[in-house]
Structure 1
Amino acid sequence: MAGFTLPALPAVGAAWGPPSDPQGELLSQYHDVPFAPFSKGDKLGRTADWTQEAGKEGARGDQGKQRGAFGRFRDQYQAYGAGVTSQFAYQHGEDEASFSVVENRASTKTRLGGRSGGYATRGNRGGRGAAQQRGGRGGGFSRIGGRGQQQDGRRGGAQAGRGGRRFGWKDWDKPQRIRDASVTPTSEWTMLEEIEFNRLAKLSLEAMEGEDVETYGSVNYYDKTFDKITTKNSAPLQVIERVRYNPTTSVDPVVQKLANEGKANVFATDSIISMLMCAPRSVYPWDIVLVKEGDNLYLDKREGGPFDFVSVNENAVEAPMEATDGKETINTPASLSLEATYINHNLAQQTIKEEEQYKFDKENPFYNPEDETEPLASCAYRYRKFNLNVSEDEDPINLIIRTEVDAVQKTPSGEDQFVMIKALNEFDRQGASGGIDWRSKLDSQRGAVVATEMKNNSLKLARWAVQSILAGVEQMKIGYVSRATPRDAQRHVILGVAGYKPRDIASQMNLNLDNGWGIVRTIIDLCLRMEDGKYVLVKDPNKNVLRLYEVPMSTFEEGEEGEDEEEAQVVQA
């Protein structure tokens, strides 16, 4: 093969022009080579320019004119060398004058008016026309704040940006939402399965109702005076120091006892199962640790992981973002999650009666009065058994879930009814809740507020509904908590508390429980076929994909007493 050697190049002392050579030795090789003067202001042309046509004003062939400020041509400022005919310019042939691009597709004709543009005479059609453009979702269906603005098509199309987010507007100038994984796989991890969310949506399993195996703890009665709170007579959210336990599955002494007795072969908590059942709605990363020991399977969480905190606006179009300048602010996803977790804990303890209590069969299995100095929070644990068998011929798959109950209340007939207490929080009155200010719209248009929260917090509300159904809770109390001032994340006020039935919320959110049980059964089948060991199910931080890894048994067992565990203990306290 022939070789290639670079020719010797002379040293150039100046940045512009050929090198100085008094003897003429170096420049002899450039003899008879045409040279055109140039300056820093000259623009280099393109080898093949398909965007300009010869003969038009402003084409590159018109070298005497250059564009100045505001796109105007200026003839009086001619750059050095611009008037000299370039020896290297490509002379267009006559055959290129007839060149044209052949388009085989039928051209789309656009009408002024009707559905295609923003000049329709009806609000509905104007809305649809504006929604098809890059301008955004304007038109007859725009709802900003209170009453819906049903406007005609002209305003709907021309002012599409007012009706909602303008898709495509300065998207190039927005930072990319690249999230970090909850855990980082190492070289010791082996990926076994990769499951896409669209595959999970096709699963279905009709599971039987759960039955109580054992019950522990005690709960207080709900204070119904909080149902009368409105935005005009709001109540401040109090900080209540009480101990509440949320250990992982494998370290639960009750689970260990039930496993030794052979009551079931799969064990988990309601938080983990609800995440699996609602996995297609998740956006933020999360992970579940699965440990297989013989015929038993344990679904665990990591201490200080995503299951110890409550997300905020995870499913919103404009979801909270990390600070770009590296400074921690009160509206980043991590700060909002910590704030929402505190709010949920304090609201559940503030809305109960101290003097009335409902006791279950056994005492709290995690509380030791000799070691704890703070009182115990109102919380009970119901260990419920679910049969996940499809047919009677297959091996039994019995799942025991540790569920939680926050309070109890009296029905009009005098019966006791279990209650779960949760909180939705407003952190920014200028659009974080979809443009709805709770202080002005919560009392008069609560349905709009609830619909917005179901859109922005689809995963969170769906998980709460699933947890209530798994625990056999008949009533959910959802509090609406807002910051006292938008820039203060320490002081909050309760603007209202409303009661809902869990199955009604699931129906309004199109939550299919059979699909959720199908997802749970699929993950359990995958792990029961594996060898004994430890596995990790990881949700991809930026894709709708679940990945199952096989990991060493020592994974996540070192360094658990660091800052993450201390922060988790503070949240639980």
Structure 2
Amino acid sequence: LTLRILTYPHEPISTRLLIGVTFNILVQKTMAVDEESLPAFGDLQISENLQGWGPSEIPDGFKDMPFQPFSKDTRLGKVADWCGTIYPDSKLKNRYTVQYGGGAQYAYYHDEDDSNFQLATSGKDSRSGSFRPRYRLPFRMRRGGQFGPGWGPGGGRGGPVGGQYMSLGNFGGRQRRYPMNDRDRMAMQNQQRRGGQGWQANRRGGWSGGPGGNWRQNPNDYNRRMNRQPKTASVQVKEDWTLLDELEFSRLAALSLPSVKEPENIMECGAVKFYDKTYDAVTTRNEKPLVRFSGVVHAVTTTEDPVIQKLARESKGNVFCTDKMAQAIMCAHKSIDSWDLIAIRIADKLFFDVRPDSNFDLVTVAETAADPPNEEPGHINCPEKLALEATFINLNFPQQVLNSVSLVSKMSHKNRLNNPFIDADDKEEAEKVASVGYRYRKFDLGGNIQCVIRCEVDAALPETAGQEPKKKNEKIPPPRFACIKALNEFDHRYCSGVNWRTKLDTQRGAVIASELKNNSCKMYKWTVGAIISGADQLKLGFVSRVNPKDTSHHVILGVQDFRPGDFAQQINLNIDNSWGILRCIIDYFMKCEPGQYLMMKDPNKPTLQIYSLPANAFASDESDDSSDEEPVKKN
């Protein structure tokens, strides 16, 4: 106000003073306002969240309000398009638009009608333009590759849905493709192995899909991969078991024991027959049916073997096991399925044994396959039934390929006995027993470890049959033994297999390579067993189903023989590493206190778990078995 008064210098001084006093009075009256009439600040209400960050309650104005989800990578680059209708952009149309209302939360539901009837949209979000291919082909080039059947530069000849995951045409001489994930890449490789028309390279450029040649051609493979369940352990771990250690397979694979000497044959028992050479000429054209063996095959564990008990009393060694147990330990780092063994420490001796009611002796099928069979338990191709089928084949095939006339009753060692698991006076049982030779061999693993292994041989080679000394003082040459095993084909459509009936005679190497990929652990075990038993040959039979849907009838399609040492080099088996693993496991249990321990392969991790067991860990199982057998004996 003072400035306003001073801006009128032409007025008299009295007038200017009067105006100033008047304005001053007005200002004082204006400022003198009652405080009650002024607006007051109320108390603030703050929702305190003691358990987290942010408000704990939803305001009433925002309750039951539809929410439009969004992503941080959504491109919100177009707020308003004023010239879109005048100058439309056909290439980038709707690229930066917001898909508001495309979600299922904005669907309309008709509630006035019956409660069981409703009208709603599909609920599928409309496809965003940001996921569409950045480059588009001219109309003339859209026939090839991803856009359907026909020829196209870089697209190749494709079927109705062929090639839609690969070719995008040729841009500057360089083919552009969709990025493939691991699942699509594995499906493409499996399709190439099967020899299908899909995913094959085309001479005119690009990759051709073929008629329906994409990875969705066989939806069962996709369903098996997506519905694969975690594997179960071979034995249920109880609460009173104490976990001592976990041995990783990466550590076991780095071990080596190259200084293992030739073993000492302590004793040889049993009798074997000669191999029938006529089975070497079996092919897919003159296949032979697999005959069931009606005799008796013994599966005696370490602690029940009378010969091992005698050798332990005589202190012939301090570690005792069978060849199957040694194979499982020496090839533990190659196993995928769960298995378990019992280690018993008694004084200064160590015994490896099998748990009662264990599936340790079952032969696995497709254990190391990239896509193993994962059918339901009731299916004929479930893992449990496939293991029983493979075990049945490996019990009958070694007995069928033997010469039923000739018999090697005398072993090469001076300490030779008959079959120790039968009664010598019972002639009927002696005639029904299977042809198996037992060789008790002692291996010096160093560090005062004398490991006695009961090895098995299945047949004697016919080259030594009928040989007689030319001179009186000349000794009879010892027989040459062989281990006989069988690979079985259940359905070549599983595990990217090869059809044996079309490839076995012409491409036997491809069949063996496929089996080595799907059953590498099993073949490693058989090779190790042939080496430690001192067999001169390892014979592999190829047995297949007559009908893929029938598990009771099989045929023999061929037999292949190998030298165990040479075959170990061909399959990249490091026998020094196998001996190192066995020595490491033995050293671990030798340092433990006397007692009972369990060694189990983790079903889902490449580790070997070692548990300490109470004194009567499996006594209940044995008592149940004995109680079940008592009523049978009384009757």
- The bucket for the TM-score relative to the shorter chain is 0.7 to 0.9
The 8 Å contact of residues 350 and 590 in structure 2, kept in 1 or not, is answered as: yes
1:526 is paired with a residue whose SS is: helix
Question: Is the counterpart of residue 45 in structure 1 residue 94 in structure 2?
Answer: no
C-alpha contact 2:76 2:98 (8 A) present in aligned 1:
no
Query: Does residue 615 of structure 2 align to residue 553 of structure 1?
Result: yes
1:364 corresponds in structure 2 to 419
Q: 1:425 aligns with which of 450, 474, 488?
A: 488
Unmatched segments (≥5 aa) in structure 2? 1-46, 49-58, 80-93, 112-152, 155-165, 468-476, 629-635
- For residues 249-306 of structure 1, the C-alpha deviation after alignment (integer angstroms, 9 at most, x for no partner) is 1221111111111111001111011111111110000001000001100011124423
- The structure 2 residue matched to 1:199, chosen from 226, 235, 251, is 251
Q: Map residues 400-479 of structure 1 onto 2, 5 A cutoff.
A: 400-411=452-463, 416-429=479-492, 431-432=493-494, 434-479=496-541
Separation of aligned partners in 2, 1:178 and 1:417: 45
3-state SS in 1 of match to 2:303: coil
Q: Are the equivalent residues in 2 in contact too, given 1:433–1:453 (CA < 8 A)? A: no
Structure 2 residue 441 is matched with structure 1 residue 384? yes
The equivalent residue for 1:336 is 386
SS state of the match for residue 289, structure 1?
strand
Count how many residue pairs are aligned between Structure 1 and Structure 2.
Answer: 482
- Correspondences of 1:97-108 after superposition (within 5 Å): none
Quote the Cα distance in structure 2 between the aligned partners of 1:291 and 1:537: 11
Query: Displacement of 1:506 after TM fit?
Result: 1.3
Aligned mates of 2:432, 2:444 — CA distance in 1: 36
Aligned to 1:569: none
SS class of match (1:558): helix
Greater CA drift, 552-561 or 307-316: 552-561
Q: Secondary structure at the match of 1:559?
A: helix
Tell me, what secondary structure is at the counterpart of 1:306?
A: coil
Q: Aligned pair 1:263/2:316, yes or no?
A: yes
Q: Deviations over 1:453-491 (max 9, x none)?
A: 011000101000000000000111111111111111011
Equivalent residues in 2 for 1:100-499 (5 A)?
A: 135-136=184-185, 138=188, 142-144=192-194, 151=201, 157=207, 159=209, 174-206=226-258, 207-323=260-376, 328-359=378-409, 360=411, 361-368=416-423, 373=429, 375-389=432-446, 394=447, 396-411=448-463, 416-429=479-492, 431-432=493-494, 434-499=496-561
Residues 35, 343 of structure 1: CA spacing in aligned structure 2 closer, same or farther, 3 A cutoff? Answer: closer
- Say whether 1:500 aligns with 2:551: no
Choose 521-530 or 300-309, whichever is displaced more. 300-309
Q: Secondary structure at the match of 1:411?
A: helix
Please report how far the alpha carbon of residue 141 of structure 1 lies from its aligned counterpart in structure 2 after TM superposition: 11
Structure of larger gyration radius: 2
Which structure is higher in RCO with an 8 Å CA cutoff and minimum separation 6? 1
Farther-moved stretch of structure 1 (372-381 vs 45-54):
45-54
Query: How far off its partner does 1:248 sit?
Result: 1.0
In the TM superposition, what whole-angstrom CA distance separates every residue of 1:30-56 from its partner, at most 9, and x where no partner exists?
xx97589x8xxx842248865352636
User: Residue 473 of structure 2 corresponds to which residue in structure 1?
Assistant: none
Q: Structure 1 CA distance, aligned partners of 2:99 and 2:274?
A: 86
Distance 1:153 1:43, change over 3 A: farther
Query: What's the CA shift string for 1:156-196, capped at 9, x where partnerless?
Result: 75659969999x99589711331111111111111111111
Kindly report which structure 2 residues correspond to 1:528-543, keeping only aligned pairs within 5 A, or say none. 528-543=590-605
Query: Could you tell me how far 1:322 is from its partner in structure 2?
Result: 4.2
TM-aligned CA distance change 1:44 to 1:335, over 3 Å = same
The code of the aligned residue for 1:504 comes to: D
Deviation at 1:58, TM superposition (A): 9.2
Quote how far apart the aligned CAs of 1:154 are: 7.9
Aligned-CA RMSD value: 4.2
- After superposition, the Cα gap between the structure-2 partners of 1:196 and 1:158, relative to the gap in structure 1 and judged at 3 Å, is farther
**Structure 2 Cα separation of the partners of residues 544 and 218 of structure 1:** 40
Separation (CA, whole Å) in 1 of partners of 2:169 and 2:494: 32
Residues 1:517 and 2:566 aligned together: no
Question: Residue 526 and residue 332 in structure 1: after superposition, are their counterparts in 2 closer, same or farther (change >3 A)?
Answer: same
2:216 and 2:562 map into 1 onto residues whose CA distance is 31
- 8 Å contact from structure 2 (residues 597, 611) kept in 1: yes
Q: Does the Cα contact within 8 Å between 1:255 and 1:267 map onto a contact in 2?
A: yes
Name the CA distance, whole Å, in 1 between partners of 2:232 and 2:192: 35
Following TM superposition, by how much is the alpha carbon of 1:118 offset from its aligned partner in structure 2, in angstroms? 6.4
Supply the distance in 2 between the matched residues of 1:329 and 1:172 (Cα, whole angstroms): 13
**d(CA) in 2 for partners of 1:496 and 1:187?**
50
Structure 1 residue 370 displacement after superposition: 5.5
Q: Aligned in 2, Cα 1:145/1:481: closer, same or farther, shift over 3 Å?
A: farther
- Whole-angstrom CA distance in 1 between matches of 2:581 and 2:559: 33
Contact residue 68 and residue 103 of structure 2 kept, 8 A: no
In structure 2, the CA distance between the partners of 1:141 and 1:346, relative to structure 1 (3 Å rule), is closer
The one-letter code of the counterpart of 1:316 is A
Q: Secondary structure at the match of 2:68?
A: coil
Preserved CA contact (<8 Å) 1:195 1:547: yes
SS at match of 1:366: coil
- Contact kept in structure 2, 1:130 and 1:136, CA below 8 Å: no
Q: Give the TM-score normalised by the residue count of structure 2.
A: 0.67
CA contact (8 A) 1:129 1:157 kept: no
Deviation (angstroms), 1:136: 1.5
Distance 1:565 1:344 in 2: 31
1:561 Cα deviation (Å)? 7.2
Classify the secondary structure of the residue corresponding to 1:136. helix
Per-residue deviation at 1:155?
6.8
Q: Which amino acid aligns with 1:253?
A: P
| CA–CA distance in structure 1, aligned partners of residues 304 and 195 of structure 2 | 48
| 493-502 vs 280-289, greater mean Cα deviation | 493-502
